[in-house]
Amino acid sequence: MRRSARLPEPHMPQSSAPRRDADAVVKLLPYFWRYRWRVALALAFMVAAKLSNVAVPLLLKQMVDALNITPGAAQAVLVVPAGLLLAYGLLRLSTSLFTELRELIFAKATEGSARAISLQVFGHLQNLSLRFHLERQTGGMTRDIERGTRAVQSLVSYSLYSVVPTFIEVGLVLALLSTRFDASFAWITGAALTVYVVFTVRVTEWRTKFRRELNELDSVTHSRAIDALLNYETVKYFNNEAFEAQRYDQRLEQLRRAQLKAQSTLSLLNTGQQLIIATALVALLWRATEGVVAGRMTLGDLVMVNAFMIQLYMPLNFLGVLYREIKQSLTDLDKMFTLLERPLEVADRPSAPALQPHGGSVRFEHVDFAYEPQRPILHDLSFELPTGKTVAVVGASGSGKSTLARLLFRFYDVQGGRITIDGQDVRDVTQASLRRAIGIVPQDTVLFNDTIAYNIAYGRPGASQSEIEAAARAAHVHDFIAALPQGYNSMVGERGLKLSGGEKQRVAIARTLLKDPPILIFDEATSALDSHNERAIQAELDAAGRGKTVLVIAHRLSTVVGAHEILVMDQGRIVERGNHDALLAAQGRYARMWALQQQRHEPAG
């Protein structure tokens, strides 16, 4: 019987306290400073567009009053209205023209700034420590970045193109109404604007918490779906398609309820805004109609007031949408800025020099390390990888073998002691230069969803096709690739899943051989190969490591027999060391491991 128990509520990452809106805006300003002249020119076109727009009702009044003629002045009809009609058309055209020029001038600033921010976030995420990437939820994080990037463009567009123009137009209309007519017109308009803004801000602030909740649920739902798709094979192995669908449906139901809550509060906001605007329009038109009847105003004045209100109605109505969108954009930006502000656990020191390898001698000196303070991994560990020598590390799972490679690459910093390369502390040199000097064939090989040629060339971007093929031959994978219908242009699939484990590992070996660094790490480099291919590739690895400093992390002892020194680790300590023959003669832990593996039948890969 399938499971039917209700799943626990999804863990929703705890957001940091929301930053002030002004802080987010201030953080955006430096990205636009390089485009400041474009911004100034766009603002000038914006002001020109609003002046043209406000002039339209004034011209419309003149046209209406000009049509109120006596029979003897019929000839004027052919001149005055025709000229006013032409001016009216030119003003309408000018409004559109200045608006389009503003968009055209500022497009480069908007797109360029969004690109710069996205690139900075991407680079920052690449520089965060391995700890962050082991804890992250890829789907939710990518969704946060996607929303944040869109929010940059939305925020800039709405604030520059709408906030300032709206208030410019409101100011011009209030000034015209108060100077041409009695003060009641300006008071009614000003009061309606004030009530409208206060109502919009209060209700939108109240709605923001629902938007944040919706964002959190959206990220969690997306993360769960991506996780299930990435682990497609595991889902199939355990026949858990219905189970994953049930989990996803529960997240979708929570998301649906949050969306309904957000929509109902939005409807409340829209209804209140329309009520305020409608009340103000009725009051203004009543005052204007009364003025015409009393003879204080002309029909042209009535038409002008009505046109002003229609023009004002649209930006006022948009002001509510605008404020909601800005608040939403700031909410989305908050997530992306949180990622951008996450401190680097491993960072280059100021003015750190590049590593200067002189052969690649590596030393671990009294190294202490723990991923978590309550669970130490390495204890006072000391050993040396001499230049041009091969040192192997063996031991049970969890003894700390793979941690050595992570520390040498400086994915983490040690808590005690130090690691040096040719006498240079790895914490004192740049990470880029350090990692250029080291190559690794990891136990768990993950490939990019691209061609085989791309994945091999990733070891040295820009390598020629002949160099890629030479590395593939050295890794004994060229014949397999050449037999494929598309050869080196064959796609490997998501995480390389179109290839077998052995094929992926040979591609990884070719990639490292192409990089050709002075220090090599083989972390179970032949674990996915059968005995025949293992022996062939082991010979190639031995040849590739000749003259280089090599660290071999192995479980199968047959792959480390030829190492110059073998370190036996247990619970983060070196318990034995020596070459193969010396360790067998010592009749210790290594000898027992060797005897056990010799008795065990190794299945063909």
Query: Which tens digits make up the pLDDT trace of 80-93?
Result: 566 667 777 777 78
**Beta-strand pair 565-570/390-395:** parallel
Query: Which tens digits make up the pLDDT trace of 287-329?
Result: 878 877 877 777 777 777 777 777 776 766 666 667 767 777 7
Give the pTM.
Answer: 0.61
Structure tokens at 92: 């309408």
Q: Given this model, what pLDDT does residue 108 score?
A: 74
Contact, 301 vs 309, CB < 8 A?
no
Contact, 188 vs 284, CB < 8 A?
yes
CATH class of 445-516: alpha beta
Domain(s) of CATH 3.40.50.300: residues in the chain: 381-437+519-605, 445-516
Residue 272 CA, chain-centre distance (Å), reads: 37
Structure tokens at 558: 């047959």
> Which CATH superfamily, name and number, covers 381-437+519-605?
P-loop containing nucleotide triphosphate hydrolases (3.40.50.300)
Q: Given this model, what pLDDT does residue 326 score?
A: 77
**Beta-strand pair 424-425/416-421:** antiparallel
Q: Given this model, what pLDDT does residue 10 score?
A: 39
Average pLDDT of every residue of the chain: 78
pLDDT above 70 covers what percent of the chain?
83
Domain(s) of CATH 1.20.1560.10: residues in the chain: 21-340
Beta strands in 7-50 (DSSP E): none
Q: If you average pLDDT over residues 64-81, what whole number do you get? A: 57
Query: Which tens digits make up the pLDDT trace of 141-189?
Result: 666 777 777 777 777 777 766 777 777 777 787 788 777 777 787 888 7
Taking only Cα atoms into account, the Rg of the chain, rounded to an integer number of angstroms, comes to 36
Checking if the pLDDT of 560 tops 90, the result is: no
Checking if the pLDDT of 23 tops 80, the result is: no
Q: Given this model, what pLDDT does residue 14 score?
A: 43
Q: If you average pLDDT over residues 102-107, what whole number do you get? A: 75
Q: Given this model, what pLDDT does residue 128 score?
A: 73
Q: Given this model, what pLDDT does residue 426 score?
A: 92
145's CB contacts (< 8 A; 6+ apart) are 118, 121, 122, 336, 339
Helical pair 164-180 and 36-66, crossing angle rounded to 10 deg: 30
| C-alpha–C-alpha distance, residues 317 and 556, integer Å | 72
Query: Which tens digits make up the pLDDT trace of 528-545?
Result: 566 666 676 677 677 777
Checking if the pLDDT of 465 tops 80, the result is: yes
Domain 21-340 has CATH 3.40.190.10: no
Contact, 203 vs 269, CB < 8 A?
yes
Grade residue 365 by pLDDT with cuts at 50, 70 and 90. Answer: very high
Structure tokens at 550: 């090599």
Checking if the pLDDT of 368 tops 90, the result is: yes
Q: If you average pLDDT over residues 19-34, what whole number do you get? A: 68
Grade residue 219 by pLDDT with cuts at 50, 70 and 90. Answer: confident
